[in-house]
Amino acid sequence: MKSIGARLAICYVLASTVTFASLFLAGRYFIEHHAIHALDLLNQSEFEQIRASQTALGTKLSEAELRKRVQAMMSDKLELFFTEIYGTAGTVVFRSPGLHGRDIAPSPRHQAFNANVEGLGELRAGKFALGPYTVVVATTKEHVRVVMTAYEHAFYGLLIVMIAISSVIGYGFSRMALRPLRLIQDTADHIRSDNLSERIPLSGARDEISDLARLLNQMFDRLEASFDQIRRFTAEASHELKTPLTLVRLQAEKLVVDGQLTPAQEQAVQIQIKELAHLNRIIEDLLFLSRADARAISLDLRPQDPEPFLQNFAQDAHVLAEHRQQRFFLTHHGSGQAAIESKWIRQVLLNLLSNALAASSPGSRVTLRSTLVNQCWQVRVEDEGPGVAAEQRERIFERFVRIHRPGGEDKGSGLGLAICRSIVELHGGHIFAEAGPDGRGLSMVFEIPAVTPSDTAGNTPFKAPLHSTDAA
């Protein structure tokens, strides 16, 4: 059982049940003990009456006279007490008619004892000495059995009620006890790389959970400081590198324009210029990601119908696919609007399309499926390439992660999908990868919330440049 709350509730119910059952057993023992003791007192009281009747005469009675007097005294108690009187030789001097000639059989060792008499059931008997005679007085234990049976029935009924009540109390207790842990879980779930400033609320209590919350907050403080240092380093290093790289590129281009290089030298310089341009795009991508992580970018989101936007994008997509001797298909279903900034969604689509084309072989097809239903705009880019292992599909959105496919081109900075994720998240959506149709190829999917015609969007322009179309 995975739920700690359920385990706590079950433990509470078990503890309550065991406690209640233990109290029942103890109560049953004491009640039965006192009830039997009360029967012993009744038997002794009856014997005292027999002895008092003999003492009042002041003379020693013969067996016949004793039998006669006891029979006269017991005539009105035939249903309550059963009496036997034994003489010195063990002969029966008197036996209550209610015994029907059956012997109670006194215990040789105990004064008070239990006796089973056929037809009468279990009796509680007491053995007493009356001069040379032995008197046995017994009364039925039926009343005790009735009381104990009623007690057991009450116990079972109360046990069911107790289990039901303790289950409710245990559930409420577990909810109350785990409330601080749920608060820690909810807060920790909200804390991400773009929201490291949030902290777990601390209570005034000095207990283990509060200590855990303080330790987690200290850990988040260290993580926030580390992330801030990384972001500052990335942004500052990228910014500082742009100027010298631009100067190096200008000098290289000037060498080519001057025309004083040999063909081999000019080819080497052209390669340098190409790599400098590639490095410059990486720096711009890092600057964009740093600003996106810091939430320093605002978008000019405007509600629009995705279908005309996709039809316009499809024209360029067909050209790119034909250049690679592949085919591009577009499907769109549903109607409505989504709040987007076209140029950045176009950049996402170009990155996903470039990856799909690079992963697929000539003659294959790349399909873009768009669906706008249930207040969600979903876009899927499907290829017919070798696909990506399930354990790697989440990692491909991390920075500088590149998946090496057999026969595929090993180029790009590994920032394209990280940028796609940042752009989609800035639109309030999310992006993920999954296996293609029938388990073939790879499907890149992003979802953006749809809007109603009455919704409005902010008008703050999006300032950060983004030029990369590198495949991840």
* Residue 23 pLDDT greater than 80, yes or no: yes
Q: What is the pLDDT of residue 353?
A: 93
Please check whether residue 188 is in contact with residue 201, taking contact to mean a CB–CB distance below 8 angstroms: no
Report the topology of domain 4-146: Beta-Lactamase (3.30.450)
What 8-state DSSP symbol labels residue 261? S
Determine the longest span between alpha carbons in the chain, in angstroms. Answer: 159
pLDDT tier at 470, thresholds 50, 70, 90: very low
Q: Which of 181-190, 240-249, 404-413 has the lowest mean pLDDT?
A: 404-413
Computed over every residue of the chain, the mean pLDDT equals 81
Find out if CATH 1.10.287.130 is the number for domain 208-293. Answer: yes
Q: What is the pLDDT of residues 245-254, one digit of tens each?
A: 788 888 888 8
Selection from 48-57, 361-370, 398-407 with the highest mean pLDDT: 361-370
Query: How do the domains of the chain map onto residue ranges?
Result: 4-146, 208-293, 302-451
pLDDT tier at 465, thresholds 50, 70, 90: very low
What 8-state DSSP symbol labels residue 366? E
Residues facing residue 339 across a β-bridge: 303
Task: Give every CB contact of residue 285 below 8 A, 6+ residues apart in sequence.
Answer: 413, 415, 419, 466, 468, 470
Please check whether residue 412 is in contact with residue 402, taking contact to mean a CB–CB distance below 8 angstroms: yes
Ramachandran sector of residue 101 (left: φ over 0; alpha: ψ -120 to 50; beta: rest): left
Class of domain 302-451: alpha beta
* Residue 78 pLDDT greater than 60, yes or no: no
The number of beta carbons lying within 10 Å of the beta carbon of residue 437 is 12
Q: What is the pLDDT of residue 378?
A: 93
* List of long-range contacts for 144-153, beta carbons under 8 Å, 24+ apart: 144/32, 144/35, 144/36, 144/39, 147/31, 147/35, 148/28, 148/31, 148/32, 148/35, 151/27, 151/28, 151/31, 152/28
* Residue 428 pLDDT greater than 70, yes or no: yes
Q: What is the pLDDT of residues 116-138, one digit of tens each?
A: 888 888 899 999 888 888 889 88
Please check whether residue 380 is in contact with residue 330, taking contact to mean a CB–CB distance below 8 angstroms: no
Q: What is the pLDDT of residue 70?
A: 74
How much of the chain exceeds pLDDT 70, in percent? Answer: 85
Q: What is the pLDDT of residue 462?
A: 37
Helix or strand (DSSP H, E) at 94: strand 92-95
DSSP-derived pairing of the beta strands 327-334 and 365-373: parallel
Q: What is the pLDDT of residues 432-453, one digit of tens each?
A: 999 888 778 899 999 999 886 5
Q: What is the pLDDT of residue 461?
A: 41
Helix (H, G, I), strand (E, B) or coil at 153: helix
Look up residue 308 and give its two tokens: 């005309």
How much of the chain exceeds pLDDT 90, in percent? Answer: 20
* Residue 455 pLDDT greater than 70, yes or no: no
The pTM assigned to this predicted structure is 0.49
Q: What is the pLDDT of residues 279-294, one digit of tens each?
A: 877 777 777 777 676 6
Of residues 138 and 299, the one with the higher pLDDT is 138
Please check whether residue 125 is in contact with residue 137, taking contact to mean a CB–CB distance below 8 angstroms: yes
* Residue 48 pLDDT greater than 70, yes or no: yes
* Residue 295 pLDDT greater than 50, yes or no: yes
Nearest to 120 by CA among 135, 105, 137, 142: 142
State how far the Cα of 339 lies from the Cα of 466, in Å rounded to an integer. Answer: 20
pLDDT tier at 2, thresholds 50, 70, 90: low
Please check whether residue 130 is in contact with residue 109, taking contact to mean a CB–CB distance below 8 angstroms: no
pLDDT tier at 226, thresholds 50, 70, 90: confident
